[in-house]
Chains A and B, each alone.
Chain A
Amino acid sequence: MALIEVKAETTGMVWKIGVKLGDRVSEDDTMITMESMKMEVPLLAPEDGTVKEILVKEEDPISEGDVAIILEV
């Protein structure tokens, strides 16, 4: 088992967090929806795993490269 950092791919705001700790996700599942460039941009699971840590909350500003979630894969 390894821990991977799931990082924001664009700069914007955390709009909705769609997962909670311990949730099992599949590759490409939407975990967080960001508001960026006036779009609702999903932050997707890069691979199958379990949500280990959520490092942001709704309405937080977030920059490209910020770690939003730690996934156990």
Chain B
Amino acid sequence: MGFEELMKDLEERKTKALGMGGPEKLAKRKAEGVLNARERLDYLIDDGSFIESGLLAKAIRPEVRHKSPADGKIAGLGRINNREVAVVSNDFTVLGASSSSINMKKIRHMKKISIQRGIPLILLGESSGARMPDRMGAAGRATMGQDPTEYMRMREAPMVSALLGDCYGSSTWYTCMSDFTVMRKGATMAVASSRVTSIAINQPVDPEELGGWKLHTEITGFVDVAVNTDEEAMKVIKDFLSYLPGNYNEAPPKYPVPLETNDRSEKILEIFPEQKNQVYDVRDIIKCIVDQDSFFELKQRFGKSIVTSFARLDGKSVGIIANNPKFKGGAIDVDAMRKATSFLVLCDSYNIPLVFLADQPGFLVGVTGEKQGAPGRIINWLNALTLCTVPKMLVIMRKDYGQAYLNMGGGQNSDEVILWPMAELGFMDPSVGVNVLYKVTEKDDPIRFKQLQDELARDTSAWDLAGLYEGHMVIDPRQTRATLIRLMEIYRKGMNNGVGKHLMRNWPTSY
């Protein structure tokens, strides 16, 4: 065959592979308002930067080879906001994007590039699970587990997962290994599909109940952000990555500071309640401190009494862990403990300094929390906190009681402790403490109760903690942004140009 014919053959093969599962299946997706695998890449990857790997890969089994363009998973390298990434986009129009020995080699290759070259890996998930009959019998076992590092995470580079349809098998496993997951409402993720599960347990199973967005944003916490469309999912991925470096050996990128930012600090004392029993939404306070439009919340619907968010201060990424009195009065339940811990690991692994904003009455006590293993979660959190080597700044806004004072960066658990004048420190609220310590209630003996309450309220103020040099400075809340920016200027570079020691790089990804 001459060169001309050979090149023509190449172009024909490429065209056929680019056709994915064919016009009918692609039209069906369009009618459902869902992007196809290549359209998702168009939204995600900078124009003209995508170089595909494995376009001409096909199924290993001859009888389905003719209908397996790219073997159902589109892999390649490209740029997002001019930074290199590796990406795999599952093509559900081809054999349900089922996992096979060939397409799993593609994922392995992309993961290897991500780790060795230090670039984020993005997995756009939608898969019917393992391909049959390839996985059946002993021969099927022999196609699995051929890479002992397949399920290993050492957080060399960020890993992002998107759940964009039915996600079973590899899409589920990689999600639970990822640093960040976005889910489109209507997608599902579970160990097995609702159909398989129904057959196995002999009962009907609703797919949303089994693995829908509400389950995963509110109960399991596997999903960080839920969105309405594929396009939104791609945007969220890009936003997430903008806060992170390309790999663990770099500092995060710097962005310009929007001009409107500087007027917002003045609003803090308008938002913050003067009455100490009033709640507020701490996100409104955070937005007064950080660069305008830089607030990016993870796990908004999970463990709501703590807010975990990325933001920028003077254009540079920070990770914020803030008590939110709006939910449960700020009392910290087990979900909030898990959320705080996983966020510490994420920030520390990718060189993002931490800011704690404390206003909490203590851990939420009760039988429910004990059944969920509260003591172990508290210790996991403390363990993670003490292993952090990124700068940690604590701002005590209002009350900061109990053991949770340490979990929120108190004592030597942060580098700088900044107090607002409203801060209250102690083992618990004095009005509760009177009953606990002296068994006196307000109803039974109001005069004695008041005396004891006043005694317990002594030495609980910001001035007292500052007097003991347990708080390094007391500031006007409106100075919080300026103070944090100045301290970060000093702390951020550290001894290693802003790169930490990553003592938690092998921390479990789900627990």
Q: What are the residues of chain A within 8 A of B279 when measuring CB–CB?
A: 39-42
Asked whether, in the complex, the Cβ of A38 is within 8 Å of the Cβ of B277, the reply is yes
Query: Which one, A9, A11, A38, contacts B327 given CB within 8 A?
Result: A9
Least CB distance from A54 to B in Å reads 21
Asked whether, in the complex, the Cβ of A39 is within 8 Å of the Cβ of B329, the reply is yes
Task: Tell me which residues from 9 to 35 in chain A have a Cβ below 8 Å from any Cβ of chain B.
Answer: 9-11
Known: A37-B429, A37-B432. A42 touches B326 (CB 8 A): yes
Asked whether, in the complex, the Cβ of B429 is within 8 Å of the Cβ of A38, the reply is yes
> In the bound complex, how far is the Cα of B279 from the Cα of A64, in angstroms?
18
How many chain A residues touch the partner (CB < 8 A)? 13
Asked whether, in the complex, the Cβ of B331 is within 8 Å of the Cβ of A37, the reply is yes
Query: Which one, B328, B431, B432, contacts A41 given CB within 8 A?
Result: B328
Q: Give per-residue flags for B336-373: 1 if the beta carbon is below 8 A from chain A beta carbons, else 0.
A: 00000000000000000000000001101010100000
> In the bound complex, how far is the Cα of B284 from the Cα of A65, in angstroms?
28
> In the bound complex, how far is the Cα of B281 from the Cα of A41, in angstroms?
11
Q: Does B129 contact A (CB under 8 A)?
A: no
Task: Tell me which residues from 424 to 457 in chain B have a Cβ below 8 Å from any Cβ of chain A.
Answer: 429, 431-432
Known: A38-B277, A40-B279, A42-B279. A10 touches B329 (CB 8 A): yes
> In the bound complex, how far is the Cα of B329 from the Cα of A40, in angstroms?
7
Please name the residue on chain A nearest to B325 by beta carbon. A39
Least CB distance from B428 to A in Å reads 9
Least CB distance from A47 to B in Å reads 9
> In the bound complex, how far is the Cα of B329 from the Cα of A11, in angstroms?
11
Least CB distance from B325 to A in Å reads 7
Q: What are the residues of chain B within 8 A of A41 when measuring CB–CB?
A: 279, 328-329
Asked whether, in the complex, the Cβ of B361 is within 8 Å of the Cβ of A39, the reply is yes
Please name the residue on chain A nearest to B365 by beta carbon. A11
Q: Does B82 contact A (CB under 8 A)?
A: no
Q: Give per-residue flags for A40-53: 1 if the beta carbon is below 8 A from chain B beta carbons, else 0.
A: 11101000000000
Asked whether, in the complex, the Cβ of A38 is within 8 Å of the Cβ of B326, the reply is no
> In the bound complex, how far is the Cα of B328 from the Cα of A11, in angstroms?
9
Asked whether, in the complex, the Cβ of B331 is within 8 Å of the Cβ of A10, the reply is yes
Query: Which one, A9, A39, A65, contacts B277 given CB within 8 A?
Result: A39
Q: What are the residues of chain B within 8 A of A36 when measuring CB–CB?
A: 328-329
List of 6 A-B pairs having minimum Cβ-Cβ separation, nearest first:
A39-B329, A41-B329, A37-B361, A37-B329, A38-B429, A10-B328
The 29 sampled A-B contact pairs (Cβ below 8 Å) are: A9-B327, A9-B328, A10-B328, A10-B329, A10-B331, A10-B364, A11-B366, A36-B328, A37-B329, A37-B361, A37-B362, A37-B429, A37-B432, A38-B429, A38-B431, A38-B432, A39-B279, A39-B325, A39-B329, A39-B361, A40-B278, A41-B279, A41-B328, A42-B279, A44-B326, A44-B327, A64-B366, A64-B368, A65-B368
Binding site for B on A (CB under 8 A): 9-11, 36-42, 44, 64-65
- 5 further interface pairs, Cβ-Cβ under 8 Å (given A38-B277, A39-B330, A65-B368): A10-B364, A38-B431, A39-B325, A41-B279, A64-B368
